[in-house]
Each structure stands twice: as C-alpha cells, then as structure tokens.
Structure 1
C-alpha cells in the first residue's frame, strides 16, 4: 500500500497528491508551470551527456590497505558503476512530498538531475531541504513543475519542455495517486471514475508522454510506476475496491508498455510497496487503533515499512543495474502477500 493512504469516514475521498480541481487553459498553465523555478531557481549542476562515473576517492586506496575505514564507494568506476545516474534526467510525479520526494532524493544522491511534478502550487518544506542539499552537497539539481496528471495537454507540454531543455529524458518514476476507503456497495460512479482517472489514466498518460520523448531522442530509458501489494491481494480489514483495482491495472499497464516499447530500449517495471508508516498513516491509526496493532502482524517481518526503505528500489530500476529487467513487479511488502 503506497504511503498516500488516508481515510476517515466512508466515501470521503482523499486526493493527497493530485487536486480534484481542473487546471486552467494552456496559455495560463504554461506561465504558471514555470512560476516555482522562476521565483526560486534551483541551484546545482546540469547533466553532461555521456559523463562516466566518478573515480573512486584517493582515500579508498588507504582504506583498502589497512582496512581502517570502509572502501566501498558505490557508484564509482571501481564499485558498481552501473548504479550511477550522473548523466541521467529523471521525472518523478507526486514528488512534492512523501514517498515521491524520498525517491527523488535517492535519485539525486545517485547523480541524476530530477524534475519533481506535482499538483501542489508549492512543494512541501522538506522539498526545499532536498533541493538545497542537491545543489550544495550532491552536485546536481532538483526542479519543480506544478501539474495535475489529469490535465493531459498540460502534462505533455511540461514533459516536452523538460525534454527540450535537457536534450534528453532518461527516466520516470510515476508515484502520484489518490486513495479512498469505501465499501463497494456504497461507491458512486463519480468517485470510482475519479480514482481510475488519476491512478490509471494519469499514470498511462504520464508514461506515454515520457516514452514519446525517449523515442524521439533514441536513447532508450527506464520507467518505474508505483503500484501496490494491494494490486495482488484484497487487504484484510481495509475496504478499498477501486484503489486495489487501480493498482492491479498499473501492473498490467507496465507489462503492456514493456512489450510495446522494448524494441526502443525502454524498460517498464512497477514497485509494489506494502503498508508504509507515514505521518498520514499515523493519523489514520488514531482513528483506527486496531490497525496499528494488527497491520504489523500481517507480514513476515512483523513491522511496517518506512518510505526510506524504497529508495534503493527507485535507483535500481532507473539505473543500468536493472538493464535486463522489464515487465516485472518489484514487490516490497515484508512478505505480506506471500502468506
């Protein structure tokens, strides 16, 4: 279950990453899309095409001689260089906060230039911490673009403008989504359509826009879409029929995209998280204390996950470390759905 889970009373929809409000017409939208970077231009370094992984630090030689310090400088020419993303441009939707932002920071640490896309007019306070760290510590850049993935013309415009400005597009993590907890007998068509419009069509159109740019530049690329363990199981005690169906659809979309785009060198996979302990889930536990007690017992590790435990999955799927992996689902649920 992705970290966007929020619920209170039945039928109460929670759009944590995407607004239900329609976006303005394109001329206004194009101006607004650039407002964040115009007012607060991110500092950092642009990517350089075909830049190789960095050499291992000089300290490594001394560390290896006497074993006094760790010598495992990952992502350098000597240590797993296939994990290095120093010349990659990657988009992450739903990255103004939460799981999407955590994954964006991991990509930045691996060297990527990252564009965060989200419906929020301004990203969270933590976003600025990550943006500052990217510029001052990591030697790369974190950008922000405001967009609702249901606005397909605006979405296409944003993706193309990023691609044009960078001269390439290498990766996508589609993490935007919404959640609603309502019994199937009480669901309205309006609520169901909104769920599928955001979680399925929004993911579809985002992947399509990115794939078109990857094909245009003839460089291939990697797309990772956030599904959920709930795409494979019906969660005991959590009534989310439309959400679960939407995540199953994301997994099937990935298989079909992979089969269509593989000959372009584009890989498409999904990440299926289990229950994630976030501030929103903690608030949920106040309303349903039995879930705080029961959920950890429903997996083989006896605990809930945290967003940071999905960092490695993001880097792995976007990087060349997974270069022979496509049409696959990386399920990270503590064994919940294997029981």
Structure 2
C-alpha cells in the first residue's frame, strides 16, 4: 500500500459514523467536549450525568442526555435499553482537596465509589451490551497524570489513589475482554484542565493558575477541547491495535 493510498484511508479510520457511544460525566467539562467531538466524527452519543440537564443550550443532533447517578442500580438497565453500543468514555469523577490526616472514612469511600466503582460499573454495563450483540468495541476511562505522580502543592491523596486504580482497572479489563470479545480498553491521563469546577477553585486560589502552568513544559493549562482528538482516536479504527494502554496528555508535566 502506498503512502498516498494510506492517507486516503485516514478519514475512514477516524470515522465514527453509525456508532453509538456512551459517555458519563457528559453534562459539562471534559465529558461534554469529548461527546461533541464524537458527534462531529459521526457518532450518536448517550450522555449520562448526575445533573438534571446538560449545560448545552442547543444540543446538536446525536446528543441524547440522561440524568442518572452512575452508582444507581438503574445504570445497567438504562445502558441495556440503548440497543447495540460500540464504545464508551467513563469520564464521571469527583475531587476533594483535604489533608490526609483530616480525611474522613466517609469522604474517602465516596471518592473511591464515584471514581473507581462508578467507572467499573459503567464499563461492565457497556461490556455486557457489547457481548450481547457481539460488538467488538472500544472503551476509554479517564484517569489522570495524578494517578502516577504526587501533585506539587495540591493535597489530594484520595483522588490520586483513585486515578491510579482507574489506570490499573483499564489494563485488567483489557486483558479480560480483549482475547474473547475483542473489546479494547484504554485510559487517558490528562494534566490540569480548566473546567467550570477548576475555575471555581482558581477563583479562591488564583495563584495556582500560574503555579500549575509553570510545572509543565508548555507553561499553560489545558482546555477540555484539547482532549477531543484523543477520544475520537481511541474509539475509532485508527487505534485498532491499541489496548491496555495509558495515553498521557499533560503538557509534559510528568516528563520532567
């Protein structure tokens, strides 16, 4: 195959036309930005989030919103009702900055429940539908560079532990579901992203905007839209031989 013919295939490789994708945490922030990118690539997206409605004022065709707690027993039946599913992004998560000596068992358990158990239950529900319909699909779980490093000046031991668990979860699900069902599972580890929730934090601690930017090689913070290409790549045939991997997108923060 010539290089010219390979280039001609690129639009097809990245196309998600006819694909149905489930995205959790998709009412705003990273999950919403990635949902819109998937729709632009041709997918139908079922956006799941705890908020009663999406923050989108004019949802595009292909964006279907479902208000649900990912820890609810109704998660599985909802996902099963959607028909054949070709992929998912498990982006729902929470953070809490608390010194380790002050962390309560209740808060720690909640962090693990949402960030780890919620991701697992989402992937399990989607995988069951894939197996039911014989779909060889792809899953993406949102981890974090914080799953591999200790953040300088940010006190979030429970969050970092949960994201480390998510990375390991992706590898193990890939090892289970790949050989028999052809289901790929990868993780994305973002650096600092300026979302609505982060903006609220920066409003109380504005010095962190520059401090965090200075800690990476690009000297700036990222926007949710900068992870859209990774979502399309991992859910499309462009990454057909990629599974059990972690895609680090942190501006070089953890490469020092």
* Structure with bigger gyration radius: 1
Q: Is the 8 A contact 2:29 2:196 kept in 1?
A: no
Q: Do residues 248 (structure 1) and 164 (structure 2) align?
A: yes
- 1:156 maps to 76
What's the CA shift for 1:284?
A: 1.8
How many pairs align? 249
Residue of structure 2 equivalent to 1:88: 19
Q: Secondary structure at the match of 1:100?
A: helix
Q: Are 2:144 and 1:228 aligned?
A: yes
What is the deviation of 1:144? 1.1
CA RMSD, 1 decimal: 1.3
What's the secondary structure of 1:182's corresponding residue? coil
* 1:1-339 aligned within 5 A: 79-124=10-55, 126=56, 128-129=57-58, 131=59, 134-135=60-61, 141-151=62-72, 153-163=73-83, 168-263=84-179, 264-339=181-256
Task: Please give the secondary structure, in 1, of the residue aligned with 2:150.
Answer: coil
Measure how far apart 1:78 and its partner are: 5.2
Deviation at 1:77, TM superposition (A): 6.6
Gaps of 5+ in 2: 1-6
Deviations 1:219-243, CA, capped at 9 Å, x for gaps: 2100000000000000000000000
| Partner secondary structure for residue 102 of structure 1 | helix
TM-score (norm 2): 0.94
8 Å contact from structure 2 (residues 112, 162) kept in 1: yes
1:278 and 1:92 mapped to 2: Cα distance?
A: 17
Task: Please state how far the C-alpha of 1:121 moved relative to its aligned partner.
Answer: 1.6
Deviation at 1:326, TM superposition (A): 0.2
Deviation at 1:87, TM superposition (A): 1.2
Give the C-alpha shift of residue 289 in structure 1. Answer: 2.3
Deviations 1:299-334 (A, max 9, x none): 011111111100000000000000000000000000
| Cα distance change of structure 1 residues 322 and 79 upon mapping to structure 2, 3 Å threshold | closer
Structure 1: how far apart are the matches of 2:202 and 2:166?
A: 27
1:233-286, CA deviations, whole angstroms, 9 ceiling, x for partnerless residues? 000000000000000000000000000000211000001110012333233223
SS of residue paired to 1:80: helix
- Secondary structure, counterpart of 1:162 in structure 2: coil
Determine helix, strand or coil for the equivalent of 1:114.
strand
TM-score in terms of structure 1 length: 0.72
Secondary structure at the counterpart of residue 95 of structure 1: coil
CA distance in 1, matches of 2:183, 2:226: 26
